[in-house]
Amino acid sequence: MERTLVILKPSALQRGLCGEIISRFEKKGLKITAMKMYRFTPEMCARHYSHLTGKSFYPTIEASMTASPVILMCLEGVDCVEVVRSMTGCTNGRKAPAGTIRGDYSMSLLENIVHASDSVENARTELDRFFSAEDYFDYDSPAFNYIYSTDD
């Protein structure tokens, strides 16, 4: 089963949107297998957004991500990385389609509520950055046979 990292950013926490967003993932049928609160340091922010540290706007990303705690989650499911990215919507909240998380809750390019890993390989790296083996929970979900068919 594929895994991905979701971060409920300070914009989600400060606006009281975490419950609604977690609920969307649950209703979709994705399984939460790890979850914790976390406070980004500038160093961890630079590691997580290493592809953007050279950009002129990077200082605004650091200020935004370190402004308050975040919630880190590991979600599990078939094709989870792609499914969660499509639920998240494109980076700019003003351009993200209605029905996506960013499209429904964000009016901003920077303050766009959630992070979601963009590939299976990056998901692995990002999950390893924040979670260790004992943070994961393996449990049966009685609804499993109603979320997936035998063909999935």
Residues binding ligand ADP (CB under 6 A): 49, 52, 57, 60-61, 91, 109-110, 112, 115, 118
Cβ-closest position to ligand ADP = 91
Q: How far is the CB of 24 from ligand ADP (least distance, A)?
A: 17
Token pair for 101: 């998380």
Among 3, 9, 48, 115, the active-site one is 115
- The alpha carbon of 72 is separated from its chain's Cα centroid by a whole number of angstroms, namely 7
- In the chain, % helix, strand, coil (3-state, to 5) comes to 40, 20, 40
| C-alpha to C-alpha distance for 11 and 8, rounded to whole angstroms | 8
- Closer CB to ligand ADP, 51 or 152, in the complex: 51
- The angle formed by the CA atoms of residues 126, 4 and 42, to the nearest 5 degrees, is 30
Whether 48 sits among the annotated catalytic residues: the reply is no
Whole-number minimum distance, CB 11 to ligand ADP, in Å?
9
Which residues participate in catalysis according to the annotation?
Answer: 115
